Amino acid sequence: MADRLTYAMIGGGIGAFIGEVHRRAVSLDDRATLVAGALSSTPEKSKQSAEQLGLDPERSYGRYQELFEQESKRDDRVDFVSIVTPNDTHYPIAKMALEHGFHVVLDKPATHTSEQAAELARLAESKGLVCCVTYNYTGYPMVRQARAMIEEGTFGAIRKVYAEYHQGWLANDLEASGQKQAAWRVDPKRAGLGGALGDIGTHAENLVAFVTGLEIESLHASLNAFVPGRALDDDASVLMRFAGGAHGVLTASQVCIGEGNGLTLRVHGDKGSLWWRQETPDELRVALHDQNPVIYSRGGPDLHEDAEVSARIPQGHPEGYLEAFANIYKGAIDAIIAHRDGSAPSRMAQLIPTINDGMRGVRFVERCVQSAKKNAQVDWA
Amino acid sequence: MADRLTYAMIGGGIGAFIGEVHRRAVSLDDRATLVAGALSSTPEKSKQSAEQLGLDPERSYGRYQELFEQESKRDDRVDFVSIVTPNDTHYPIAKMALEHGFHVVLDKPATHTSEQAAELARLAESKGLVCCVTYNYTGYPMVRQARAMIEEGTFGAIRKVYAEYHQGWLANDLEASGQKQAAWRVDPKRAGLGGALGDIGTHAENLVAFVTGLEIESLHASLNAFVPGRALDDDASVLMRFAGGAHGVLTASQVCIGEGNGLTLRVHGDKGSLWWRQETPDELRVALHDQNPVIYSRGGPDLHEDAEVSARIPQGHPEGYLEAFANIYKGAIDAIIAHRDGSAPSRMAQLIPTINDGMRGVRFVERCVQSAKKNAQVDWA
Amino acid sequence: MADRLTYAMIGGGIGAFIGEVHRRAVSLDDRATLVAGALSSTPEKSKQSAEQLGLDPERSYGRYQELFEQESKRDDRVDFVSIVTPNDTHYPIAKMALEHGFHVVLDKPATHTSEQAAELARLAESKGLVCCVTYNYTGYPMVRQARAMIEEGTFGAIRKVYAEYHQGWLANDLEASGQKQAAWRVDPKRAGLGGALGDIGTHAENLVAFVTGLEIESLHASLNAFVPGRALDDDASVLMRFAGGAHGVLTASQVCIGEGNGLTLRVHGDKGSLWWRQETPDELRVALHDQNPVIYSRGGPDLHEDAEVSARIPQGHPEGYLEAFANIYKGAIDAIIAHRDGSAPSRMAQLIPTINDGMRGVRFVERCVQSAKKNAQVDWA
Amino acid sequence: MADRLTYAMIGGGIGAFIGEVHRRAVSLDDRATLVAGALSSTPEKSKQSAEQLGLDPERSYGRYQELFEQESKRDDRVDFVSIVTPNDTHYPIAKMALEHGFHVVLDKPATHTSEQAAELARLAESKGLVCCVTYNYTGYPMVRQARAMIEEGTFGAIRKVYAEYHQGWLANDLEASGQKQAAWRVDPKRAGLGGALGDIGTHAENLVAFVTGLEIESLHASLNAFVPGRALDDDASVLMRFAGGAHGVLTASQVCIGEGNGLTLRVHGDKGSLWWRQETPDELRVALHDQNPVIYSRGGPDLHEDAEVSARIPQGHPEGYLEAFANIYKGAIDAIIAHRDGSAPSRMAQLIPTINDGMRGVRFVERCVQSAKKNAQVDWA
């Protein structure tokens, strides 16, 4: 099959949560094969993971530097690299990948500083390479429907946006138990400036930007670390003023017991409103002025092409997180093929989040932290 | 029946929305009879309304002053007065009522300034009179259940509170059409300092205070007037810091197309969380750490006495807004009877909102407006 | 007020569940006053209840016969009689009421046999009296909206109807504990032929008939008595064939633990479908062929007049069971006034269930019991 | 990787709905590779599809007979065969596959007659081969949780079961337009005895059997063909009596406009009840006597091992139809590996539906059709 690609993974050894998710997301549509990797922080663990994943031992590298050096010399070099290491290592790895001419799929948040992200963006731009950042929630068909409807003006001028991402799993000091996922997220060295803010607040910020296209002009953030001993926020509340006058409220918290992945978006314009909720992602509630609300659904009537091409199965059979995540990879693979063939990118390819989104996300964290420290409003620019 | 009272109404002539609600709320439990009134702004209209409501013409007064003067001379003087006039007239009317020794039920928000409310509070206190402010949402049985569970420590120390009151009916300039309800709400002279903030934000603030008992220490508010030409806010977002360290986000908006009366409360403590939503008021969602969420419901098992005494019919037969409103009156009537008889007030009587709640609500509006003007955090005290 | 009526109540002494509901339903709109009663099975208890309810001792009767005899001689005789006694006494009481020229509001199911109901119907007809049976769920505004939309052809020809009424309160032998509500419902002498079937199955049958207008031609019923020792069904499942070819499934059960008052209706026609659920009665879900579903709501846009006149407060402030019940009384009072004045009955008056509905409900129970005994389909006629 | 298998597919050429679903279900966990196929009804189309799917041309067979003959001679013969052809061809293909010693994964309903299914069952048994039938809904983690809780006695003795599978896509004569999915389903030659009954009623029947373990003793079915011209039912309603005295109501319909894949299950026992709904599959509502209902969820607390091993990602990130389908394949692959290695089958392997389930499903259709023709109850045996 002409359109089957190969890829390498950096990080994501056996046991790592997000690496497994990335691999499943690729597998679901079965258009790329994992053939190489530097899967863990030590060569031994990397080899072990590579064996379990069935990689050719020759292409199982102990360190990422080695991977880029060796792979770039091969005729059958991988088409792209998935980087799923902890946040703090994203920048050097992605930089080296791009410098060696590999397309990159990078877990979010992209980097530790917005300058790093900007540098990666410039590098990808100058090399003409795809640098996709996996803001996976933008892969949900009904999120894309929401974006399309706003772009078409269905809701008029946007006035108010509510975005939330509430979780409860860090309500206690889970990190004290050594739980791996918790440990790095609360550690400034690995997580960066933001705790809940960086981990999930950036998803909410990205969702707002993707769906509404609005640009933040200024913001006022309040950050809390409710669990004793935490150096980073586990709870964030942000008031945002957008260019053009719209106003937004974004909250991200990891201490909301009883919340799983409570990512929601509500947008209110002068002609109508929309509601979307990640935990029931196949539905989009829409209300126009003086009309009864309508429930749009994946696979249902009256959908925009962007929602239709992002669905796999008929209405009423739920799709979920992995399918949405797979849509990001589907788009990235489309983009890489279009790049290779010099053809026009598909709609899926055009919809993927890029390193520019990653850069904006990191900037969002920086500005929130700045505002919270000053306890005052700060400008975006 | 010994416990049947009589009352007079100021305002609430035929066609007025809230007067009708107050009368129905009294009727539902049928423990007080409307026997007197100064129902409209003009003597003619008052008479007309009185006739339609079947009042004795002798006790249909043209002006409220007259009502207090005449009624206070009668042997069968009314037991209490319901004041349902526009906001700007609450203060002088309530003052005169208390001065003439009448118990008062006052529509919210109590007064235009917190000083006025404080004066009413002092007056009621010194006269030993009941002065109830109809923050009606506290009458819902499951709101009372929430309050009781927090008080009992079920959720541990409160960390985060989300309160919302979103409506859509003022998304366009309905006031231009002369719609009566819209017109006074957008008029600073009648509505006071706050638009959405005063009209519905105060309900959200009261719900937070009633349920959590938390006290605001400082706040940062952002106010918008999205519909051109409005002098008052039609959208408000407030970050709040409570004594003890908890944090809150309160939003109130009347431009959210598709929202009816979207009043919701979420409280997250270090042991668990609760969710409540006015549009499905009979349910209270509760989640404790590491346990599956449980749906409490009016009439169901494991309820606190406060929720039980506030319900009228069995589980699964919905109660609504009027029943909750009636619970306020039920409590006020109980309080008046206890006052009269020198007996201990019932649980219903103890749960009613008073002029002190009204005062805090007006203060909330004042502080939010102050913060928004300065675009900075302000202290409560 | 010219339109204020007076009424007497038979049954419904203090402590009785449904009598209290009837009184509140009348009070809510405050258009009729309870002035007479034969409230309990013994003269002593009747007197006690009458005192608590504040009745004039002269009009507190020990037995219903006395009430009809005495009241019919008074100039200020009551306008109508509410009969809320156990099922087995409905027939003689209602008969005597009608014979003495009183309008009747009768709790459901009307009588023990369909012949009795037919006789009452003939009597009411010949005397020109109102004989309303309180199938209260037809009072919900969105049920009336559903009825109007079907009548207008919105959903095309009806094909399939699903009606359920599931409760859980009789899942154990509550009657053994002496609980009054349970005790009479499981006693064939008092309840009649049907257990769950008569108590709640008839509500479901009535809802189907009211909303769809369909007439049952034949049915096959399966009845169960799951709780040991029960002589009557506590669970019923009925397949129904309607005139014109539509098919229906009706289930009524009182052993479904976790169900409160799970009365639901779904109607599927060849152009579209509707869904309604008593526990969230303010919403009506509607789906037309090839269109996204739309949520109609009480107080919202695009409602039929029948739904509008049946609502009291704006959209988003819930109304519930008592308000729906009150709509039946509102209609009955309107009907009585129209009768008195010789004027055209209001829309509310035209929508009330009558003794003909009661007769059909009793016939439904008879036919189901017959089918279950034969374990075969039976014809309606 | 030792545990990676290979498989062939019969049917499922490009454009076929269910073949694509099967392939994705395998890909998601990436433990088997499609290496051979007889993908379409003609050799030309088969070749074309094989090419698009990247099969080795040598292993792209024109007819299924050829596939079994050739593959059985190879050293690297496929481990199993997926049969996703129209219903009428299942029997001969599965028979030949088993005779040639291939494990089989067979789309449901297994065969046209229960005798055929019984023969396949005997054949698989005697050869010691896995013969899995893809009743995919049993793959949902919360369905497995429901099954485990019932088995553990959480709900006591089961009294009543409600199972529904309602769709709306055949509400009009879609088959007239030549739509492929519709065309074969309404054609008795290809679909068999049942229309909606066979297509989706069997899913509901299987769900009941899987979750409750109850066995049907007798049933009464009513079948309708609402769309003019249909030879098979498009709507079915079945009353069922189970061994031990429980009663069930099962409805399956394809003319319910507005329903997508409305598969729901409710089980009521003498200690408690459960509710599950395919369109929100991650939740299981549970209510025990005199306790408030609890919401269990995939990835949440207090789950049975069967639910835990069937999940891939954390709570709050939705899984859907493909993940559930993949669980069937995961189990089948585990079963095949256990068979190969002579090891004990995993929990996943033990939970898969087999040809015995397929046989029972076909029998269910046969009995329903028989009952509907006689318009009488029929016994299962």
Q: Tens digits of per-residue pLDDT, C310-325? A: 999 999 999 999 999 9
Sequence-distant (≥ 6) Cβ neighbours of residue A158 within 8 angstroms:
A150, A212, A214, A242, A244, A246, A267, A268, A269
pTM, two decimals, is 0.97
Min distance B288 CA to chain A CA atoms (Å): 7
The CA distance from A333 to A341, in Å, is 12
**What count of other Cβ atoms lies within 10 Å of the Cβ of residue A3?**
13
D285/C258 touch (CB, cutoff 8 Å), yes or no: yes
Tokens of C71: 């009241």
One-letter amino acid of A258: G
B44-68: pLDDT as tens digits: 889 999 999 999 999 999 999 999 9
Contacts of D140 in chain A (CB under 8 A): none
Question: What subunits make at least 3 CB pairs under 8 angstroms with C?
Answer: A, B, D
Find which of A239, A256, A257 to mutate to test the B interface (most B CBs within 10 Å of its CB).
A257
- Give the DSSP H/E element, type plus range, for residue D83: strand D80-83
Q: Which residue in chain B is spatially nearest to A168 when comparing CA positions?
A: B289
**What count of other Cβ atoms lies within 10 Å of the Cβ of residue B99?**
13
Min distance B178 CA to chain C CA atoms (Å): 18
D244 touches chain B (CB under 8 A): no
Q: Round the average pLDDT of chain B to a whole number and report it.
A: 96
Q: What pLDDT sits at residue D4?
A: 87
Q: Which residue in chain D is spatially nearest to A33 when comparing CA positions?
A: D30
Contacts of A291 in chain C (CB under 8 A): 301-302
Contacts of D172 in chain C (CB under 8 A): 270, 289
- CA neighbor of B332 nearest in space, from B84, B91, B81, B39: B81
Place C181 in a pLDDT band, splitting at 50, 70 and 90.
Answer: confident
Task: Bin B358: left if φ > 0, else alpha if -120 < ψ < 50, else beta.
Answer: alpha
Contacts of D301 in chain B (CB under 8 A): 290-292
Sequence-distant (≥ 6) Cβ neighbours of residue A244 within 8 angstroms:
A157, A158, A214
- The B residues from 280 to 299 touching D (CB cutoff 8 Å) are 290-297
Sequence-distant (≥ 6) Cβ neighbours of residue C103 within 8 angstroms:
C79, C80, C81, C129, C130, C131, C132, C332, C335, C336, C339
Q: Given B172, B237, B288, which is nearest A249 (Cβ)?
A: B237
Min distance D330 CA to chain B CA atoms (Å): 28
In contact, A4 and A31? CB cutoff 8 Å: yes
C316 touches chain A (CB under 8 A): no
CA C9 to chain centre: 17
In contact, C71 and C36? CB cutoff 8 Å: yes
B262-294: pLDDT as tens digits: 999 999 999 999 999 999 999 999 999 999 999
Asked if residue B204 has pLDDT above 70, the reply is: yes
Q: Round the average pLDDT of chain A to a whole number and report it.
A: 96
- The D residues from 21 to 60 touching A (CB cutoff 8 Å) are 21, 23-24, 27-30, 52-54
Pick from B225-229, C85-89, C201-205, D375-379: least confident: C85-89
B299-354: pLDDT as tens digits: 999 999 999 999 999 999 999 999 999 999 999 999 999 999 999 999 999 999 99
Asked if residue B17 has pLDDT above 50, the reply is: yes
Q: Round the average pLDDT of chain C to a whole number and report it.
A: 96
Asked if residue C109 has a cis previous peptide bond (ω within 30° of 0), the answer is yes
A273/B259 touch (CB, cutoff 8 Å), yes or no: yes
Pick from A185-194, D162-171, D268-277: least confident: A185-194
- Give the DSSP H/E element, type plus range, for residue A358: helix A355-374
D253/C268 touch (CB, cutoff 8 Å), yes or no: yes
Tell me the average pLDDT across D325-337: 98
Q: Which residue in chain A is spatially nearest to D167 when comparing CA positions?
A: A316
Tokens of B362: 């007006």
Place D1 in a pLDDT band, splitting at 50, 70 and 90.
Answer: very low
A233-285: pLDDT as tens digits: 999 999 999 999 999 999 999 999 999 999 999 999 999 999 999 999 999 99
Place D185 in a pLDDT band, splitting at 50, 70 and 90.
Answer: confident
In contact, A83 and A100? CB cutoff 8 Å: no
Q: What pLDDT sits at residue C1?
A: 41
The neighbouring-strand residues paired with B248 are B161, B240
Asked if residue D3 has pLDDT above 80, the reply is: no
3-state secondary structure of B123: helix
The CA distance from B377 to A179, in Å, is 38
A30/D23 touch (CB, cutoff 8 Å), yes or no: yes
Asked if residue A340 has pLDDT above 70, the reply is: yes
In contact, A205 and A366? CB cutoff 8 Å: no
Work out whether strand B32-38 and strand B5-10 pair parallel, antiparallel, or are unpaired. parallel
Domains of chain D and CATH, by start:
5-137+325-352 (3.40.50.720), 141-311+360-379 (3.30.360.10)
Asked if residue B2 has pLDDT above 80, the reply is: no
Asked if residue A1 has pLDDT above 70, the reply is: no
Cβ density class C232-242: b for 16+ within 10 Å, e for less: bbbbbbbbbbb
Min distance C169 CA to chain D CA atoms (Å): 9
Asked if residue A2 has pLDDT above 90, the reply is: no
Tokens of B167: 């409506």
- CA neighbor of C274 nearest in space, from C146, C89, C139: C146
A172 touches chain B (CB under 8 A): yes
Sequence-distant (≥ 6) Cβ neighbours of residue B1 within 8 angstroms:
B31, C52, C53, C54
Q: What pLDDT sits at residue B1?
A: 41
User: Counting every residue, how long is chain C?
Assistant: 381
The CA distance from B61 to B50, in Å, is 9
The CA distance from D201 to A286, in Å, is 33
Question: What subunits make at least 3 CB pairs under 8 angstroms with D?
Answer: A, B, C
